[in-house]
Structure 1
């Protein structure tokens, strides 16, 4: 093993492909890996493969020479075209997602591969053990085609550490990976549209209430109470959201609960910003408050004071990375309030927190009792600590 590790540490690939075929947040958390790989191979050419419409987090990234987009559900013709484009074009591929398709792309594209392996968390009952056994069998061929793999640990290993560990085979000393400040690279900002710029007034707070799935939502009445309190503290509130129908509707529902005086100091930016523009908006904010979603990771990457409301998701796995942190794990698994750098993570009460299930009913449209019990008072106290003046 030592001989192999030493041999790999002298490897100098000329062309490298990074593969992240999931959501925009999954693309953003690969940027520390990309930066570290650039330190290791300053002259290599880096390309990135991901889903169409999910790659804006790489806008202006100085390390990426080419971005390759594919559909999340390509047809045969698109598969054929992509395979022809990728075939043995790279010396090395980083497969940062455990899906079969991502590994097939890596197999087609590169002579050598390293990859992340999925798995089922260790459980005591027969069903958990059966799922774990199945995932281990599915991983057999992936291990066979890779020179190095890293197992996912949804509770104890941060996702950024997981990605960085893909590089450990190329270092003589693994400790070098985590001995310097680790930073997430946000997209280069773009100017805001006049519609938004003309309404902005300092100081303002960006509030992002819409997650990808319903079980990560915070109750409407809590947003109403929080926004009303912010306005009383003389903050303008910018309510951001993606163009998705459910997110636009959520913002509308929150605003409908506000009184007329409060509404005057709230700007609804739902669907009006690209990801690079969202970065520009967040950089100018006094504070960002959001749920467990990709824009919350963007806020932390922009070094804006960030308050993140977490329910089922373990912050030890997917908490927004506090830029400049040195080490492998910035967070505790369970803490009602924890602050590292400019990031504060709040969790609701309960011994089951975090469960990593899809809410209390374990389905996408479920409620999460831990978020229902995370009261606005807890958020307000965190704001007062983050912005003492």
Structure 2
């Protein structure tokens, strides 16, 4: 195959889970030109993928009005149709991705998608019901790569952080009051759903425990809600943590993870990025399915809420429970002791 198009636009975590498809494609077709369609929020992550040759940005907001559609449809179509593709993989499975896949020129029967295609996307791309249909979402994505002949010898997130971003990360870390050469653990403070978030007090207790072990706790996240959460965590701690919430782009965040001793976080994009980079990661899960989105390759580091109603897939608990509070800091500390070969006394 000479030209392959992959459509995977959002969300951040889902894009990260899909990127091993790029490695699988280049593993089997090293000379293929791989084009990836993505939305702006995930651009920085896709741009680090050394297997992707071309990125087409899909600005969804620009298509919401009739005037915006008329203005932007032509240029998008021109970009999509600049090549004839041997295969198209729609890993989004929604109307917007189906519209992009429909524009792409490819032989009949060479457009494939996930098994659970929605919003009419199955009428554009053939759903792939592979052997991993009930397994981790990474394997489900890879089943679409297998459908075009990819052997998938290795599952890898092929990201490379530019040297400039590495240097900037070190500068930002130093300006925040610490040295990246000292041991640190990154705490991912937020998530897209309130039900996925670990309580502030638990993060604070873990941060104090890390300081007592001469390990720097570093908070990361983005947006005003997570900035406020970080401030509340810091207020509860004996010694303030290094607070990098809102200060790093995804390239810098990736480098921060690569240099860290470990990462702790919920089922959210940054945590999945850490897992994909093979950084030792303790993932905390409650309302979502570990089998689908747990820490791929690091399931021993997973902590799941001990409640019958877990895996409810609710953004807000209808019963008013804070399920994630059930996971105590001591449980995370025990995982970190094992990962970092720390003394388990007085956890």
The equivalent residue for 1:161 is 139
Question: SS of the counterpart of 1:110?
Answer: coil
The verdict on how the C-alpha distance between 1:377 and 1:367 changes in structure 2, with shifts beyond 3 A counting, is farther
Query: Is this contact kept in 1: 2:56–2:79, CA < 8 A?
Result: no
Return the alpha-carbon distance in structure 2 between the equivalents of residues 194 and 145 of structure 1. 47
TM-score (norm 2): 0.86
Runs of 5+ unmatched residues, structure 2: 343-347
1:247 aligns with 2:247: no
Deviation at 1:47, TM superposition (A): 0.9
1:93 aligns with 2:72: no
TM-score (norm 1): 0.77
The equivalent residue for 1:19 is 7
CA root-mean-square deviation: 2.4
The equivalent residue for 2:345 is none
The equivalent residue for 1:335 is none
Question: Which digits, 9 at most, give the CA deviation of each residue in 1:339-372, with x for residues without a partner?
Answer: 1xxxx111111122222232422xxxx9654312
Return the alpha-carbon distance in structure 2 between the equivalents of residues 195 and 385 of structure 1. 30
The equivalent residue for 1:118 is 116
The verdict on how the C-alpha distance between 1:151 and 1:368 changes in structure 2, with shifts beyond 3 A counting, is farther
Query: Is this contact kept in 2: 1:186–1:301, CA < 8 A?
Result: no
Return the alpha-carbon distance in structure 2 between the equivalents of residues 155 and 379 of structure 1. 31
Deviation at 1:96, TM superposition (A): 0.4
The equivalent residue for 1:284 is 259
The verdict on how the C-alpha distance between 1:54 and 1:152 changes in structure 2, with shifts beyond 3 A counting, is farther
Query: Is this contact kept in 2: 1:155–1:316, CA < 8 A?
Result: no
Q: How many residues align?
A: 325
The verdict on how the C-alpha distance between 1:152 and 1:40 changes in structure 2, with shifts beyond 3 A counting, is closer
Deviation at 1:60, TM superposition (A): 3.1
The equivalent residue for 2:48 is 60
The verdict on how the C-alpha distance between 1:164 and 1:351 changes in structure 2, with shifts beyond 3 A counting, is same
Q: For 1:346, which of 303, 306, 319 is the aligned residue? A: 303
Question: SS of the counterpart of 2:260?
Answer: coil
Query: Is this contact kept in 1: 2:115–2:133, CA < 8 A?
Result: no
Query: Is this contact kept in 2: 1:35–1:63, CA < 8 A?
Result: yes
The verdict on how the C-alpha distance between 1:47 and 1:367 changes in structure 2, with shifts beyond 3 A counting, is farther
The verdict on how the C-alpha distance between 1:235 and 1:158 changes in structure 2, with shifts beyond 3 A counting, is same
1:360 aligns with 2:317: yes
The equivalent residue for 2:100 is 105
Return the alpha-carbon distance in structure 1 between the equivalents of residues 190 and 252 of structure 2. 17
The equivalent residue for 2:271 is 296
Question: SS of the counterpart of 1:297?
Answer: helix
The equivalent residue for 1:312 is 287
The equivalent residue for 2:199 is 219
The verdict on how the C-alpha distance between 1:144 and 1:23 changes in structure 2, with shifts beyond 3 A counting, is closer
Query: Is this contact kept in 1: 2:280–2:339, CA < 8 A?
Result: yes
Return the alpha-carbon distance in structure 2 between the equivalents of residues 283 and 254 of structure 1. 24
Query: Is this contact kept in 1: 2:89–2:144, CA < 8 A?
Result: yes
More displaced 10-residue stretch of structure 1: 59-68 or 196-205: 196-205
